[in-house]
Chain A
């Protein structure tokens, strides 16, 4: 089944403890992206990647890192999480026009 997977689905952590949210797609898509979703603000792009080793900042990249060493994987790294990074995170991959979203990761930073 064609899909985008994210892990973990839920995470509660404390300020400053490094964490990684994994994202993987099995559709051989070149384009991948991370979004955060907050009430009233919609989906805001954090980082995107056009292909392996090619990444660029979206609208809200502060406090996040990404890497794209393989085509299928695009992990999101929070080196020192803060409470304002509490949010719902979506990974997506795209072929041509349509973006396919993962199920989301709900992160709470206390």
Chain B
């Protein structure tokens, strides 16, 4: 089952902050975040593992609350280059391997 993301879309002015949320009805053991710019392939941003850790990538950081089965991506002082669609994803590990499931995405537009 796909993770749920909110909001579906957000429009910001350069320099503003944004939060993108990801939640799952199934237990999350890890959360992956990817960004896809228009017309391009998705690019890995970061992974969060069990333990409630927070990671960062420049002015983009994320948190993971495994008890609530939620993750949030924080974009601080947004830049024009942050525009794109953000996907969260998680691995479903079974006897055969690792099935990977992405959320539907959140479209972020940063305006000058």
Which A residues form the contact surface with B (CB < 8 A)? Answer: 31, 33, 35, 40-45, 48-50, 54, 56, 58-59, 90, 97-104
Subset of 26 A-B contacts with CB under 8 Å: A31-B97, A33-B100, A40-B104, A41-B104, A42-B2, A42-B87, A42-B105, A43-B87, A44-B102, A45-B101, A48-B100, A49-B97, A50-B96, A56-B96, A56-B99, A59-B99, A90-B41, A97-B47, A98-B44, A98-B47, A99-B44, A101-B41, A101-B43, A103-B40, A103-B41, A104-B41
Q: Does B98 have its Cβ within 8 Å of any Cβ on chain A?
A: yes
Interface assignment of B56: CB less than 8 Å from any CB of chain A: no
**B42 contacts A43, C-beta separation under 8 Å:** yes
Cα distance A31–B41 in the bound complex, in angstroms: 18
Asked if A31 and B42 sit within 8 Å, CB to CB, the answer is no
Per DSSP, are chain A's interface residues mostly helix, strand or loop, or mixed?
Answer: strand
* CB-CB under 8 A for A31 and B98, given A90-B41, A102-B41: yes
Contacts of B2 in A (CB 8 A): 42
| Interface contact A48-B99, CB-CB below 8 Å | yes
Instruction: Report the separation of the CA atoms of residues A63 and B13 in the bound assembly, to the nearest whole angstrom.
Output: 43
Return chain A residues, CB-CB under 8 Å to B47: 97-98
Q: In whole angstroms, how far apart are the Cα atoms of A98 and B43 in the complex? A: 9
Chain B residues with CB under 8 A of A101: 41-43
Sample of 5 more A-B contacts, CB < 8 Å, known A41-B104, A42-B103, A90-B41: A31-B98, A45-B100, A48-B97, A99-B32, A99-B44
Asked if residues B100 and A58 are in contact (CB atoms below 8 Å), the reply is yes
CB distance from A53 to the nearest CB of B (A): 13
Chain A residues with CB below 8 A from B89, complex form: 43
Q: How far is the CA of A97 from the CA of B99 in the complex (A)?
A: 13
CB distance from B45 to the nearest CB of A (A): 10
The answer for the CA separation of A42 and B98 in the assembled complex, in Å, is: 18
A102's nearest neighbour on chain B, judged by CB, is: B41
